């Protein structure tokens, strides 16, 4: 079970690593699109677009339905939930670290306020006394 989840999570992050695939998902968030419609904004062949779509399918992020000769893709955002849960674990880690850093900075700032900041100018050696 854990191996499946790890592989699925790897597939999701691998699919999201490419800006073209992220953009395709954004298009699908507005509604179903044909493979041709997904490929249209890019300077790529339908075969190249199909490779991107297959990777998104492998990650479970889209479902493809064949309607005659047209392949229609729909977004399935459920696999993103596992990715968000994985990142949430590290969000807690970084929030704790940032809270600790903030406390250190505030303590440092308080310590600096207790030390006078205005300094009396130092006399240069050999300068006449006033």
Q: What does the pLDDT look like over 65-83, one tens digit per residue?
A: 999 999 999 999 999 988 8
Q: CA 23, 26, 30: angle at the middle one, nearest 5?
A: 145
In the chain, helix, strand, coil percent, each to 5? 60, 10, 30
pLDDT along the chain (130 residues), means of 10: 73 95 96 94 91 96 94 94 84 84 88 64 60
Which CATH number applies to 2-78: 3.40.190.10, 3.40.50.620, 3.30.1600.10, 1.10.10.10? 1.10.10.10
pLDDT of residue 120: 53
Query: CA of 129: how far to CAs of 100, 123, 124, 125, in Å?
Result: 50, 9, 10, 10
Q: What does the pLDDT look like over 121-130, one tens digit per residue?
A: 556 666 566 5
pLDDT of residue 1: 45
pLDDT of residue 109: 86
Q: Is the pTM of this model over 0.85?
A: no
Ranges of each domain in the chain: 2-78
């Amino acid at each position: 079970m854990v191996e499946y989840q790890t592989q699925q999570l790897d597939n999701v992050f691998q699919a999201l690593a490419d800006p073209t695939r992220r953009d395709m998902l954004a298009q699908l968030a507005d509604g179903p699109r044909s493979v041709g419609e997904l490929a249209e904004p890019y300077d790529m062949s339908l075969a190249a677009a199909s490779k991107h779509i297959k990777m998104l399918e492998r990650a479970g992020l889209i479902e493809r339905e064949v309607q005659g000769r047209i392949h229609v893709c729909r977004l399935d955002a459920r696999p993103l939930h596992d990715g968000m849960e994985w990142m949430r674990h590290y969000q807690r880690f970084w929030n704790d670290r940032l809270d600790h850093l903030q406390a250190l900075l505030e303590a440092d700032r308080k310590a600096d306020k207790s030390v006078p900041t205005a300094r009396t100018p130092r006399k240069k050696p050999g300068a006449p006394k006033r």
